[in-house]
Amino acid sequence: MTEHRNIPISLPSTGEEEWLALKEPLLSGWLTQGPKVAAFEADFAKRHGVKHAVATTSCTTSLHLILTALDIGPGDEVIVPAFTWVSTANVVLYCGATPIFADVDPKTYNLAIDQVANKITERTKAILPVHLFGRCADMDALAELAPNIPLVEDAACAAGAAYKGRAAGSLGIAGAFSFHPRKSITTGEGGMVTTNDDALADRMRIIRNHGASISEEQRHLGPKPYILPEFNLLGFNYRMTDLQGAVGLVQLQKLDGLLEERRQWAEYYSRELASIKWLRTPQVTEEYSHGWQAYVCFVDETVAPRPRNSMMEFLQSKGVSTRPGTHAVHLLGYYKDRFGLAPEDFPGARDCDRFTLALPLHNQMTASDYRYVVAALKELE
């Protein structure tokens, strides 16, 4: 390795086509939720095998919208994994309900099914499994464990991913996706809810739009300008702009190509890194079509030549950006203090927080970038 590189952990795949897509809404003057969002929703629903897709401002607001539409509130409990992005738990608190953490399996980074069973009470109103890094949670096992409790998918990382041949977002009562630039397709910020439930979709569309039961679009196009919407529900403004919708449409067309490329390079990493005894590469089986939002390894510090953090510093000095997979939410200040939680309460999440290592994986990387990352890691052996 002679030449020094700078390889970011993630970069969005946007360019000329997204730039051109912005022209139409900007010239037409229809800037907020309108025809582009409607088209993006229709295409997204089709790609994920669901009847309805409802665009929002983020995955976080999508999750909040779902829980609100399910009437989850004070006194209710929602089970969430202890290892996830913080907003999976935050949205439960936004509703005035209580997040009940369950531990994760450090082999999959997802909810450990045997840890969910003893968290279910008569107050449990939903389980919120996360398809972390693009690998779906074991949804059938959860459905079997809790047949009468709605499963809400945090599919932030799972655009285009599948489980036993079924798309993420079609596996529970509703799913929530993110279009933050760290995810495989992006609209800058943005989110999408998917569901097959007609009544839930209607409710979510109303709550997304201030609780108004006639959309702005209908009001503009309809023949009865004197009709004002009714406001029978407490709503929010969670509408996506048509600028984002236009970009999302282009990004969605690229999704399968982007995922295929990510899959090939994830396989390359797994092949090349298999000889490193202290590094466990992501586990995938036939049943899971991985979304590869991130390529997250687990460092076995009992046999590793140095601690994970020291490895991350070394890799950074070589210009290779890495990150911990995500957080153990029960160790974050707000949750630790408010709920009196200790690291050992969720040992799987604690270990994932300490020992996961996300390597750069994105669609702006070249073949030689991937070789460079592998060579840098092998220098650590």
Ligand X SMILES: *Cc1c(COP(=O)(O)O)cnc(C)c1O
CB-count burial class (<10 Å; 0-12, 13-18, 19+) for 93: middle
Among 60, 244, 251, 356, binds ligand X (CB under 6 A): 60
Which of 87, 215, 244, 289 touches ligand X (CB under 6 A)? Answer: 87
CA–CA distance, 115 with 141 (Å, rounded to integer) = 12
Block residue for tokens 């989110």: 191
- The active-site residue out of 183, 224, 318, 336 is 183
Reading the block at residue 28, the tokens are: 């037409």
Nearer to ligand X, 152 or 250 (CB): 152
Residue placing its CB nearer to ligand X in the complex, 171 or 377: 171
Active site residue 254: no
Interface with ligand X, residue 355, by CB under 6 A: no
Among 14, 33, 170, 178, binds ligand X (CB under 6 A): 178
Binding region for ligand X (CB under 6 A) out of 153-161, 295-303, 330-338, 342-350 = 153-161
115 binds ligand X, rule: CB under 6 A: no
Q: 59 or 374, CB closer to ligand X?
A: 59
* Binding residues with ligand X: total (CB under 6 A): 15
Instruction: Check residue 153 for interaction with ligand X (CB under 6 A).
Output: no
Cα 205 → chain centroid? 21
When the beta carbons of 107 and 378 are compared against ligand X, the nearer one is: 107
Query: What count of other Cβ atoms lies within 10 Å of the Cβ of residue 75?
Result: 10
Q: Which stretch in 84-92, 139-147, 279-287, 371-379 sits in contact with ligand X by CB under 6 A?
A: 84-92
Q: In whole angstroms, how close is the CB of 183 to ligand X at the nearest point? A: 6
Residue owning tokens 């687990």: 298
Q: Which is nearer to ligand X, 130 or 331 (CB)?
A: 130
Give the active site residues: 183
Binding site for ligand X (CB under 6 A): 58-60, 84-85, 87-88, 130, 132, 154, 156-157, 178, 180, 191
